[in-house]
Structure formats: C-alpha cells, structure tokens
Amino acid sequence: MRGYFAAGVDGISKPMNLGNLMRIAHAFDASFFFTVNAQVKLSDVQSDTSRTQHTVPVYMFPTVEEFRLPVGCRLVGVEITDDANELPRFRHPQRAAYVFGGERTSLSEPVLKRCEFVVKIPTRFSINVGMAGAIVLYDRLISLGGYPGRPIAPGRAVADIPPSHKWGAPIIRTTKA
C-alpha cells in the first residue's frame, strides 16, 4: 500500500479508550498516533498491551492551535454530521490522518474546521471510539491495500486476478481451413 496514515483523537477523557485506539492504530500499522486536547496522560493508559508508544511515534498536542501534521497529510474527521460522507462511498487519501471524537463529545468545532474531509460510519447510533477506529482503518486497508474484489459465491476465496496484460512477443493466431 502506498502512502501512510495516522490515527488520533480529539478531547479523549478515558485511558481505556485511548489505549484501545492506540492499539488498533498500531495493529493496522499507523505511521504515527496523536491526541489533541486529551484529558488523559499516556502514563494512565493500561489497555494498550502492544505498547504502541514504544514502537510508533505518539504526538500529544495540548490545544488545536498547536496541532500540526506533515506537509501533504490530509485530515479526515470521523463524525456523525449531516454533510459527512458515508464511509463505504469514501475514497481514502494516500496520506491521511484520521481524527476521532472523544467518548462523551463530538469532534470540537476547531478540529472539524481543519478537516478536509468528514466521514461517518453508517450506523443507527454512535459507537465506541475504538470500534470506530477499527472500522475506519479496516476500510482503508480493504480499499487501498491491493486486495482483489470479493467473491460472488459465499465463502469462496477469489483466485489471484491475472495481470491485465502480459508483456512479450505478439501471439499470432491463424485459423485452420
């Protein structure tokens, strides 16, 4: 898969949820993780058993004004809003940072304004921030990871799709009389 991605959270207040999202980001091979206006210290996180902060860069921005991303990285907010793109219809940027809202609140207005895209998971109600992270990052993996299309019949794996063109000398076909 080309490009990179990061995952982060705005205004998180529960250590268990922060650790869960960090572990998910690490499992999906995030290039870095970030928090904005976190109400939790990394030292309080016990649920990240993969010890993400020892393997993946973790940036903690105290305020939205201090929040920075690499040049060319596009911020994707994950939030239930009327004008958000539904995740199954969304084309993920090659270089993206996904930001999720805290467990009691939505994305803050200043963070929403900085988002180039806003996506929503088409569910009947909001879900846990860690679960939302897993769904969005899995969708990114499936859509950008080079996997072939799904099989038509249930339970069957699709055979490797042959290349669209095989380079080499031309094949000359003749008809027999």
Mean residue pLDDT of the chain comes to: 88
Residue 170 makes CB contacts below 8 A (sequence gap 6+) with none
3-state SS class at 153: coil
| Identity of the residue numbered 111 | V
pLDDT at 1: 66
Q: Does residue 154 lie within any of the structural domains?
A: no
The CB density around residue 49, as the number of other CB atoms within 10 Å, is: 8
Q: Would you say residue 166 has pLDDT above 70?
A: no
What is the token pair recorded at 163? 């290349």
pLDDT tens readout for residues 15-60: 899 999 999 999 999 999 999 999 888 777 876 667 788 899 999 9
pTM greater than 0.95 (yes/no): no
CATH code for position 96: 3.40.1280.10
Burial 119-138 (b: 16+ CB within 10 A, else e): bbbeeeeeeebbbbbbbbbe
pLDDT at 46: 75
Q: Does residue 162 lie within any of the structural domains?
A: no
Looking at the DSSP assignment, which residues form a beta bridge with residue 33? 7, 58
- Using 50, 70 and 90 to split pLDDT, how confident is the model at 148? confident
Instruction: Domain of residue 26: give its range.
Output: 4-144
Q: Does residue 80 lie within any of the structural domains?
A: yes
Kindly give the residue spans of alpha helices, DSSP state H, lying in 4-158: 15-27, 109-114, 129-144
**CA 79 to chain CA mean position, Å:** 13
pLDDT at 163: 56
Q: Does residue 173 lie within any of the structural domains?
A: no
The CB density around residue 115, as the number of other CB atoms within 10 Å, is: 19
- Using 50, 70 and 90 to split pLDDT, how confident is the model at 99? very high
Q: How far apart are CA 52 and CA 82, in angstroms?
A: 34
Range in 41-45, 82-86, 112-116, 141-145 with the lowest mean pLDDT: 41-45
pLDDT tens readout for residues 58-68: 999 999 999 99
Q: Does residue 172 lie within any of the structural domains?
A: no
Q: Does residue 152 lie within any of the structural domains?
A: no
Domain tally, the chain: 1
